[in-house]
Amino acid sequence: MPLREVWAAGLAAAVPARAQAPAQDRVAAAHAELKRDRSLQFDFTAAPPERPPRPGPSWLAALLDALEPLLLVVFWGGVAVIAALAIWFLVREGERRWREGRVRGPGGAALVLPPSEERVRALLAEADRLAAQGRYAEAVHVLLFRGVDDIRDQRPELFRRALTSREIAGLSALPHRVRAHFGAIAAVVERSFFGGRAVDAEAWARSRAEYEAFAARESWA
């Protein structure tokens, strides 16, 4: 048997059991007294996780920490802008679809209506005033621009991209008479604007008659 075990066995035999009991009582009493001390903490909650260090130099980490509130504002502001744009697009698309389908004919086909008589009279009065001053080219331009507005008001879905007056006159979705009368006015304007040909009183009178026929109800039927 090793010497250390022999020594321990002999020490245990030498100390009586009743001498060991008071020592255990004293340890228990000291432990109880220690637990009654409110200045000491025995229950420990989990420590909060440490924030991992930011990569890069320390000055960059400090700058990011300082800008963090501003970056949050920019982020949520961007989210709000995207949401607003999405809502605006949906509203515009809904309005376009409503305008396309606000007047329907047999079988659900879209119908178009001629310009109102009040609008036609106002336009012709303005054009006649220019023609009375000898400004025939300007008067024909007024007829053309108002014709474009009339078509756009009735068929807005046809104006998703920029169109020339000749392209508008060739739109198959328009009634044949509307296209023919509008095309006649556009031809006079093209010869004047691009060909350098003056618009005389006769050309003006023809253009005025074409617009009257263009705005007639039977042309839009």
pLDDT digits (tens, 9 = 90+) for 42-91: 666 666 666 666 565 677 767 777 778 888 888 898 899 999 988 988 88
Q: Is residue 171 part of a domain?
A: yes
Examine the pLDDT at 7 and tell me if it is beyond 50. Answer: no
**Phi, then psi, of 44 in degrees rounded to 5:** -120, 125
Residues with Cβ within 8 Å of 49's Cβ and at least 6 positions away in sequence, in order, are none
Tell me the residue range of the domain where 207 lies. 117-220
Examine the pLDDT at 145 and tell me if it is beyond 60. Answer: yes
Q: Is residue 121 part of a domain?
A: yes
Tell me the Cα Rg of the chain. Answer: 47
| 104-128 mean pLDDT | 72
Which of the residue ranges 13-17, 116-120, 138-142 would you say has the lowest mean pLDDT? 13-17
Number of domains in the chain: 1
| 180-207 mean pLDDT | 88
pLDDT of residue 206: 93
Q: Is residue 176 part of a domain?
A: yes
Which of the residue ranges 44-53, 154-163, 205-214 would you say has the lowest mean pLDDT? 44-53
Q: Is residue 11 part of a domain?
A: no
Q: Is residue 26 part of a domain?
A: no
Q: Is residue 34 part of a domain?
A: no
pTM of the model: 0.48
pLDDT of residue 129: 93
Which of the residue ranges 45-54, 68-77, 98-107, 123-132 would you say has the lowest mean pLDDT? 98-107
pLDDT of residue 6: 46
| 132-143 mean pLDDT | 92
Q: Is residue 28 part of a domain?
A: no
Tens digit of each residue's pLDDT (9 = 90 or more) over 33-52: 777 766 666 666 666 666 66
Examine the pLDDT at 21 and tell me if it is beyond 60. Answer: no
Contact 175, 213 (CB under 8 A): no
Diameter over CA atoms, the chain: 143
Alpha helices (H) along the chain: 3-14, 17-35, 58-101, 117-132, 136-154, 165-169, 176-193, 201-215
Examine the pLDDT at 135 and tell me if it is beyond 50. Answer: yes
- Strand, helix or coil for residue 104: strand
Rounded-to-integer distance, Cα 102 and Cα 126, Å:
30
Examine the pLDDT at 3 and tell me if it is beyond 50. Answer: no
Query: How far is residue 173 CA from its own chain's centroid?
Result: 30
Examine the pLDDT at 103 and tell me if it is beyond 50. Answer: no
Residues with Cβ within 8 Å of 131's Cβ and at least 6 positions away in sequence, in order, are 139, 201, 204, 208
pLDDT of residue 41: 66
DSSP character for 158? G
Place of tokens 């007056």: 165
Rounded-to-integer distance, Cα 205 and Cα 213, Å:
12
Q: Is residue 73 part of a domain?
A: no
